[in-house]
Amino acid sequence: MSVAELLTPAQVEAAARLARLLLNEGEAAAFAAQLAPILARVQALDELDTSNVAPLARLSPLANVLRPDEARPSLGADLALREAPDAAGGFFRVPRVLGEGGGA
């Protein structure tokens, strides 16, 4: 597979949509051309045999960090909303969206 084939403009557009980035005309192709060599560089890792290596999600050996189920003071609505760009009646106010949220 050639370097250019590693990332198509369509894939760049899909990634931009998920990141909520609006690309201008021609940018998808331009970014594809710039990002493809980076991917090619990372792809060098594929040459390593990892069949006997357990997946490593974290570098820290930390495990079993728990807290007791005891309430601690919250910030309170005033403080929580203080840095919000817009607020009304104790709520965060955002541009209107349609439909139910909560992917879950």
Residue pair 36/6 in contact (Cβ under 8 Å)? The answer is yes
x/- mask, another protein, residues 82-101, rule CB under 8 A, reads ----x-xxxxxxxxxxxxxx
Q: Is 45 in the site for another protein (CB under 8 A)?
A: no
Give the span between the Cα atoms of 85 and 103, in whole angstroms: 24
Nearer Cβ to another protein (30/94): 94
Sequence-separated (6 or more) residues with CB below 8 Å from residue 84: 92, 93
CB of 83 to another protein, least distance (A): 9
Q: How many CA atoms lie within 13 A of 34 on its CB side?
A: 7
Q: Is 53 in the site for another protein (CB under 8 A)?
A: no
Interface with another protein (CB under 8 A):
18, 20, 57-58, 60, 62-72, 74-77, 80-81, 86, 88-104
